[in-house]
Amino acid sequence: MKRILVCSDTHCGAATGLTPPAWQTTELQATLWSIFRGWIVEYAPYNSLILNGDLIDGTDARGGGTEQITTDRLKQCEIASEIIQGIECNDIHIVAGTPYHVGNSEDFERVIAGNVGAKFHDRGFFRVNGVEINCKHYISESALPHTRLTPLAREILQNRQWFLEGTEPLANVIVRSHVHHYEQIDHDGCLGFITPGLQSLGSKYGARICSGVIHFGFLILNISDKGDVTWVAPRAVGTTQRVESLVL
């Protein structure tokens, strides 16, 4: 059996991003770091680690850097590298995130890959015990809770079309990220996943614009020697980030 850890959307450098102790400035950062590290230890060991994009937050050009621990993207790469180096795994892959966060004219995730000895991919095509895994960071979002699975089903269908064109392997598992909420579907002979993110609530954009539920966590794929796939997606629930009403 091989165990594949898939993490995404750490958004290192943002005050709401996943933050190791040396960089922490808030109690919430410390709490979520403790939860994350607890899971990493609980579910270890890992044969492969896939980091599915948006490992750094970038310069926060739209917000003027007001929500950042640091806007220096090289320091953000240091933070992300520290997180990855704390996970005991020798086979590491980084899949490119969105240009706004990880570089419009540069790929700062390549810097992270160099720091940690990872392979960098625009898209990831991996075969594990005969199981084809198709990874890409971006997936579109649905504004309606009951249609959140639609973009994931579309990704499965698109892969089938690329396969018929002779371009892509026929995926048994499709993994997408970007939208920070966990979803899972079994469709047309393919398991589809949207990974939870590792960025907390509390950004201006999230508070003022977004309304959908998001999840803090990651995905683990367990693939048996016969190619059977099981999975677990630990997610933080409860009162960690509960909002209380102001009594007037």
Residue 215 CB partners (closer than 8 Å, separation 6+): 180, 181, 182, 196, 197, 235, 236
In this predicted model, what pLDDT tens digit does every residue of 18-68 receive, in sequence order? 999 999 999 999 999 999 999 999 999 999 999 999 999 999 988 889 999
Helix (H, G, I), strand (E, B) or coil at 102: helix
CA–CA separation, 84 vs 10, rounded Å?
A: 11
In this predicted model, what pLDDT tens digit does every residue of 216-246 receive, in sequence order? 999 999 999 999 999 999 999 665 678 889 9
Q: Is residue 247 part of a domain?
A: no
Host domain of residue 61: 2-232
Number of domains within the chain: 1
CA dihedral 199, 115, 168, 128 (to 10 degrees): -90
Residue 92 maps to which CATH number? 3.60.21.10
In this predicted model, what pLDDT tens digit does every residue of 143-161 receive, in sequence order? 899 999 999 999 999 999 9
pLDDT at 207: 75
What is the pTM assigned to this prediction? 0.96
Q: Is residue 242 part of a domain?
A: no
Confidence of residue 88 (pLDDT cuts 50, 70, 90): very high
Q: Is residue 240 part of a domain?
A: no
Angle at Cα 152 formed by Cα 57 and Cα 215, nearest 5°? Answer: 45
Q: Is residue 245 part of a domain?
A: no
Which range in 119-128, 138-147, 232-241 is most confidently predicted, on average pLDDT?
119-128
